[in-house]
Structure 1
Amino acid sequence: MARHAQADAPARPAVQKVALAAAALFVLVGVLGFIPGVTAHYGQMTFAGHHSGAKLLGLFQVSVLHNLVHLLFGLVGLVAARRLAGARVFLAGGGALYLVLWLYGFAIDQESAANFVPINDADNWLHLALGFGMLATGLLLSNEVGTGSRPDTPIDRP
């Protein structure tokens, strides 16, 4: 009698579920950034730079580069979240990265060439919230990892 593979598979830990959801959200945001109507002033979108007039949901300044970064980050997250350690690294590392991006956005002049992504005030506040949320989730959600136990099962062992 054939065994059903999913019946024997353990449930995904919460940190993996959150990482998958976050990664899928980044992919969705990256795609939505290319849809006129969802992105206001779509015709003013540039490849990069602070001159892009396009705003996702009429609030977050975006460019082609900005949307591609969201797509790539989300796809990396989808792959990383397949394993417990990868999910934690995606969330905690991505959170730290977003906190650095928040500091960068806070420190630069938004009208200068340094604002190449582009980033506006709404992006900055979102980056701060994402940074803390992802970092805390990646570090605190999984109790059984990071306490001296193995962070993941090696691929060559069950």
Structure 2
Amino acid sequence: MTTAPMAGRAAGERATIRTAAALVGAVFLIVGILGFIPGVTSNYSAMTFLGQDSEAMLLGIFQVSILHNIVHLLFGVAGLAMARTVGGARTFLVGGGVIYLVLWLYGLLIDQESPANFVPVNTADNWLHLVLGVAMILLGLALSRRRT
């Protein structure tokens, strides 16, 4: 029995999870950059550093602030850095997914008009956070599953 095909498949799986984490990280980085571009972000002049009072809307849908954009940038950089190893890629995808599910719950539980909405988030953000959280966790688990 030869182990070469198994070793090749394992190497491919390792490359796949690393690529997935890098792509997700790159998307976060791009979203963070787009949040600072007037036109892509409507009401750009009404963007605040943080808080529910920011009226800036990425793509006219998602409420953003300077802090929100910085978080996207940092999350993107973390994803790209962690994609350098299989363990880091898995941690970024699964751990990042858990963070987004917590953020989704937070967005559901707070009054969006209160100071607790410091990120800020709106209903569209909440739905996106749910989808991102589930997708990242599923990617991290599916791509790191060991086959015998």
TM-score, length basis structure 1 = 0.83
Query: Per-residue displacement from partner, 1:9-42 (whole Å, max 9, x unpaired)?
Result: x655211111000000000000000000000010
Which has the higher mean CA deviation after the structures are superposed, 133-142 or 96-105? 133-142
Counterpart for residue 54 of structure 1: 56
1:95·1:132 contact (CA, 8 Å) conserved in 2?
yes
Q: Distance in 1 between matches of 2:104 and 2:80?
A: 23
* 1:59-78 correspondence to structure 2 within 5 Å: 59-78=61-80
Percent identical:
61
Q: Distance in 1 between matches of 2:25 and 2:111?
A: 29
RMSD over aligned Cα atoms: 1.4
Counterpart for residue 8 of structure 2: none
Query: Per-residue displacement from partner, 1:72-127 (whole Å, max 9, x unpaired)?
Result: 01101110000000000000000000000000000000000000000000000000
Partner letter of residue 93 of structure 1? Answer: G
Q: Distance in 2 between matches of 1:125 and 1:141?
A: 24
Partner letter of residue 57 of structure 1? Answer: L
Match of 1:102 among 97, 104, 108: 104
Partner letter of residue 47 of structure 2? Answer: M
1:88·1:139 contact (CA, 8 Å) conserved in 2?
yes
Counterpart for residue 118 of structure 1: 120
Match of 1:29 among 18, 28, 31: 31
Counterpart for residue 43 of structure 1: 45
Match of 2:87 among 67, 85, 91: 85
Partner letter of residue 16 of structure 1? Answer: R
Aligned residues: 137
Query: Is structure 2 residue 146 aligned with structure 1 residue 133?
Result: no
Partner letter of residue 107 of structure 1? Answer: L
